Amino acid sequence: AAEHKYEHIQLTTPRPGVALITLNRPKALNALFSPLINELNTCTSSLDRDTSISAIVLTGSPKAFAAGADIKEMAPKTFSDAYGHDFIESWSNITRIKKPVIGAVNGYALGGGCELAMMCDILYASKTATFGQPEIKLGILPGAGGTQRLAHAVGKAKAMHLILTGDNFSGEQAEQWGLVAKCFDDAEACVNGALDTAEKIAGYSKIAVKACKEAVNKSQDLGVREGVEYERRLFHGLFGSQDQKIGMEAFANKKKAEWTHS
């Protein structure tokens, strides 16, 4: 991956084809503010263009994935500041990344931190994770998709309860309710689990991975009928790829597929 110097995030490539982004603003429990989000957006879009990278893991520290948007930065904002400058508009740019993003949540994932986690394609957590949408306690509401993504993930009843009470929930609860795919015992296992999954995905055809991600994400926006039609178009389209021939011929010849990613 391209080497960049970042101040509020760290970028490493611990496994073949896998980039690891670690949010790194420890003094404020990774509270999200514009300089950090700008770095995250620069980093993820450059990784999306980087042909040596196939999957991205996003994590925080063992204490905090992110304790929310920076309350001290937000406190003095006026309506004109927020509306006029599209406050937090760019905070969901990560959802435009075409490569899979795997979130590994340890410690606090509150407010904007929970929302950032929910923007990931696959979400893992550990027993140390504390999720929550506490915005109601600050006299606001979730502003980066929390009301929508939480409701899609855990259903309206639980989402409404969580958002109106501001109550926190654990990594284990998040797994039981289907918000996270796996809950690990501790932070290290969680990050390693995410890297293992990213490495596995990096071993597949990039073009097939891209189509899978695109189609599954469409399920969140489209009705089932339109979604299945969308899937079918992509499915038919992949018969025009080399990797479809390579994958199926390798199966028939009992060989390992050597993907061309085209």
Residues that bind ligand CO8 (CB under 6 A): 28-29, 31-32, 67-72, 88, 91, 108, 110-112, 115-116, 134-135, 138, 142-144
State the CB neighbour count (10 A cutoff) for residue 232: 11
Question: Of these residues, 55, 64, 66, 69, which one is catalytic?
Answer: 69
* Residue in 104, 162, 103, 106 with CA at minimum distance from that of residue 129: 106
**What angle is formed at CA 134 by the lines to CA 88 and CA 114, rounded to 5 degrees?**
55
In the complex, the smallest distance separating the C-beta of residue 81 from ligand CO8, rounded to whole angstroms, is 14
* Angle between helix 206-218 and 242-252 (nearest 10): 110
Q: CA 167, 173, 176, 179: dihedral to nearest 10 degrees?
A: 60
Q: Which is nearer to ligand CO8, 163 or 212 (CB)?
A: 163
68 among known catalytic residues: no
Q: How far is the CB of 23 from ligand CO8 (least distance, A)?
A: 11
Q: Dig out the tokens for 167 from the structure.
A: 């109550």
> Would you call 178 a catalytic residue per the annotation?
no
Answer yes or no: 249 catalytic.
Answer: no
What is the phi/psi pair of residue 58, to 5°?
A: -120, 125
Among candidate residues 28, 66, 111, 115, the one labeled active-site is: 115
Known catalytic residue: 1?
no
Catalytic site residue from 17, 112, 113, 145: 112
Tell the smallest beta-carbon distance from residue 60 to ligand CO8 (Å).
12
Strand order in the sheet with 130-132: 64-66, 108-110, 130-132, 169-170
Catalytically active residues, by annotation = 69, 112, 115, 135
